[in-house]
């Protein structure tokens, strides 16, 4: 199902990269690299979805009118932003795109070998619907099931951000001469920025998404994790560009002088060298991996899936990071409640992940949902305890893969990066 959803969303291909001759300022013939930030707010969290574009052609590609003048005759490093009312940047919400359907109109045998059950709040390819005007079986555009009663299904075909105010910011990162290029596809920048999933990580109208049916925490390999992790795996799950972005995010969020817990640690913590923590404790599954991590000041081997209890006193840490591992937790609610206990009031919990993992040990729900639904799943881990506030999600896509990466001959773009974080609620604060 995840693969089908991702087939139905526009790809990020804004050009062939920058030419060799660099320019100091943009002009009508320039090609640019830009980073866009789409900021929006849901009922429980703030969200920032970043998209990096190379080869944007200022003669051909279309920018939102409010930002058109902000990209001409500007230097590298120029930043601009604009706030759009709901329905101004993307197609506005339409009530007639909220469809009441009979349960039999949802094709549970769409994948032939797997029976698909409709679940409230989840996304599915439109082609799964039967007898809906304008919808064909080959259509992979995602839609959301808003209601799944026995007698009726409610399908929302609107973009998930159609009814939300949006802020779009841009930063010019590189400029080069583009010449007289006339061929090629004209890109609408706002469509590229909002495509491929932003909005999926929020609940539908504040109602919890049903991630919990269908044995969500089952795994292909149900054996004890101590067997799988008995041998060290000194590998990085993401490419060097993505690692640098994770490190930069930690550097922006975590102040120096903190006591940090690296949860589910391995041989790299991805903390920036500029950060000066008081101490970094690593809790991981393999002794050789944590011993190889040079930043750790304390190393503990502990299987959270066997015992989700954390072997630390209350308020032991000012920040907790969990890098590229949350998808392996089979008892996440217990773990997140424990993390709230060991965090000092106001302390940060930051969870980062991508779309690469060890398949035998990944929970079933993680593999079955769209990658932009996964931040929503992790948000539910935070929300369940009621012990966190100031919740945020962040995503980054579109950066080029390093030329020396082992997959550079097959994959043009760097691994996407997703993050969810929140602050330990002070005991005097109200519930979320």
Q: Examine residue 172 and state whether it is found in any structural domain, yes or no.
A: yes
Q: Examine residue 219 and state whether it is found in any structural domain, yes or no.
A: no
Query: Rounded CA gap, 23 and 177, in Å?
Result: 7
Q: Examine residue 80 and state whether it is found in any structural domain, yes or no.
A: yes
Q: With bands split at pLDDT 50, 70 and 90, how would you rate the model's confidence at 405?
A: confident
Query: Rounded CA gap, 169 and 83, in Å?
Result: 9
Q: What is the mean pLDDT of residues 104-128?
A: 94
Question: pTM for this structure?
Answer: 0.93
pLDDT at 65 over 60: yes
Measured in degrees and rounded to the nearest 5, phi and psi for residue 299 equal: -130, 125
Specify whether the CB–CB gap between 53 and 12 falls below 8 A.
Answer: yes
Q: Examine residue 1 and state whether it is found in any structural domain, yes or no.
A: no
The domain in which residue 23 lies consists of 7-91+162-185
Residues 6 or more apart whose CB falls under 8 angstroms from that of 208 comprise 121, 380
pLDDT at 14 over 60: no
pLDDT in tens, 200-247: 999 999 999 999 999 999 999 999 999 988 888 777 889 999 999 999
In the predicted model, what is the mean pLDDT of the chain?
92
pLDDT at 432 over 70: no
If asked whether residues 363 and 310 sit together in one domain, one would say: yes
- Candidates 326, 384, 380; CA nearest to 352 is 326
pLDDT at 19: 43
If asked whether residues 262 and 402 sit together in one domain, one would say: yes
**Domain with 375 in it: what CATH number?**
3.40.50.150
pLDDT at 18 over 60: no
pLDDT at 15: 46
Residues 6 or more apart whose CB falls under 8 angstroms from that of 113 comprise none
pLDDT in tens, 375-394: 999 999 999 999 999 999 99
pLDDT at 354: 96
Specify whether the CB–CB gap between 352 and 418 falls below 8 A.
Answer: yes
Query: What count of residues does the chain have?
Result: 432
Q: What is the mean pLDDT of residues 142-163?
A: 95
Specify whether the CB–CB gap between 326 and 366 falls below 8 A.
Answer: no
* Token pair of 33 as six digits: 């690299």
* Token pair of 10 as six digits: 């526009």
If asked whether residues 275 and 313 sit together in one domain, one would say: yes
pLDDT at 4: 60
If asked whether residues 101 and 87 sit together in one domain, one would say: no
> How many separate domains does the chain show?
3
If asked whether residues 343 and 303 sit together in one domain, one would say: yes
pLDDT in tens, 303-337: 999 999 999 999 999 999 999 999 999 999 999 99
pLDDT at 7: 55
Query: Rounded CA gap, 167 and 165, in Å?
Result: 7
Query: Rounded CA gap, 48 and 392, in Å?
Result: 8
If asked whether residues 266 and 344 sit together in one domain, one would say: yes
Q: With bands split at pLDDT 50, 70 and 90, how would you rate the model's confidence at 198?
A: very high
If asked whether residues 169 and 152 sit together in one domain, one would say: no
If asked whether residues 168 and 79 sit together in one domain, one would say: yes
DSSP 5: H
Q: What is the mean pLDDT of residues 116-138?
A: 95
Q: Which residues pair with 417 in a beta bridge?
A: 396
Query: Rounded CA gap, 346 and 351, in Å?
Result: 16
Q: Examine residue 200 and state whether it is found in any structural domain, yes or no.
A: no
Query: Rounded CA gap, 85 and 97, in Å?
Result: 20
pLDDT at 166 over 50: yes
pLDDT at 199 over 70: yes
If asked whether residues 85 and 110 sit together in one domain, one would say: no
Instruction: Give the percent of the chain with pLDDT over 70.
Output: 93
Burial 180-200 (b: 16+ CB within 10 A, else e): eeeeeeebebbebbbbbbbbb
If asked whether residues 76 and 105 sit together in one domain, one would say: no
Q: With bands split at pLDDT 50, 70 and 90, how would you rate the model's confidence at 1?
A: low
Specify whether the CB–CB gap between 163 and 87 falls below 8 A.
Answer: yes
Q: With bands split at pLDDT 50, 70 and 90, how would you rate the model's confidence at 5?
A: low
Q: With bands split at pLDDT 50, 70 and 90, how would you rate the model's confidence at 9?
A: very low
**Domain with 29 in it: what CATH number?**
3.10.50.30
If asked whether residues 233 and 358 sit together in one domain, one would say: yes
pLDDT in tens, 406-415: 888 888 999 9
DSSP 128: G
Instruction: Say which residue the tokens 């279309």 belong to.
Output: 62
Q: With bands split at pLDDT 50, 70 and 90, how would you rate the model's confidence at 10?
A: very low
If asked whether residues 265 and 139 sit together in one domain, one would say: no
* Token pair of 101 as six digits: 């359907």
pLDDT at 16: 47
């Amino acid at each position: 199902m995840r693969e089908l959803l991702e087939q139905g969303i526009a790809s990020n291909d804004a050009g062939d990269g920058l030419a060799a001759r660099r320019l100091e300022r943009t002009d009508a013939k320039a090609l640019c690299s830009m980073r866009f930030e789409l900021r929006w707010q849901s009922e429980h969290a703030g969200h920032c979805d970043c998209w990096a574009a190379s080869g944007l052609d200022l003669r051909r590609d279309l920018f939102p009118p409010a930002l058109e003048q902000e990209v001409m005759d500007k230097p590298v490093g120029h930043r601009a932003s604009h706030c759009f009312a709901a329905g101004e940047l993307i197609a506005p919400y339409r009530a007639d795109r909220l469809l009441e359907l009979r349960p039999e109109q949802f094709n549970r045998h769409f994948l032939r070998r797997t029976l698909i059950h409709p679940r409230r709040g989840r996304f599915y390819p439109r082609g799964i619907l039967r007898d809906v005007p304008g919808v064909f079986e080959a259509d992979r555009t995602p839609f959301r099931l808003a209601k799944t009663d026995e007698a009726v299904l409610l399908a929302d075909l609107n973009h998930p951000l159609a009814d939300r105010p949006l802020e779009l910011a841009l930063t010019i990162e590189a400029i080069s001469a583009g010449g007289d290029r006339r061929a090629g596809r004209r890109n609408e920048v706002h469509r590229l920025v909002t495509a491929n999933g932003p909005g999926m990580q929020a609940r539908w109208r504040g109602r919890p998404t049903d991630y919990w049916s269908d044995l969500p925490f089952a795994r292909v390999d149900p054996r004890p994790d101590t067997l799988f992790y008995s041998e060290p795996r000194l590998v990085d799950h993401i490419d060097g560009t993505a690692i640098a972005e994770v490190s930069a995010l930690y550097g922006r969020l975590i102040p120096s002088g903190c006591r940090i817990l690296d949860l589910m640690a391995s041989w790299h913590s991805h903390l920036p060298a500029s950060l000066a923590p008081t101490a970094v404790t690593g809790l991981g599954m393999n002794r050789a991996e944590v011993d190889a991590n040079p930043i750790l000041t304390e190393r503990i081997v502990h299987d959270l899936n066997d015992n989700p209890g954390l072997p630390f006193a209350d308020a032991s840490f000012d920040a907790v990071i969990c890098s590229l591992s949350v998808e392996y937790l089979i008892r996440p609610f217990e773990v997140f409640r424990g993390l709230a206990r060991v965090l000092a009031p106001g302390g940060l919990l930051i969870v980062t992940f991508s779309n690469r993992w060890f398949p035998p040990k990944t929970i079933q729900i993680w593999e079955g949902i769209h990658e932009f639904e996964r931040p929503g799943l992790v948000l539910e881990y935070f929300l369940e305890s009621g012990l966190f506030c100031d919740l945020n999600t962040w995503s980054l896509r579109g950066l080029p893969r390093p030329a020396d990466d082992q997959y550079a001959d097959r994959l043009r773009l760097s691994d996407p990066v997703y993050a969810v974080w929140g602050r330990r609620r002070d005991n005097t604060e109200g519930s979320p």
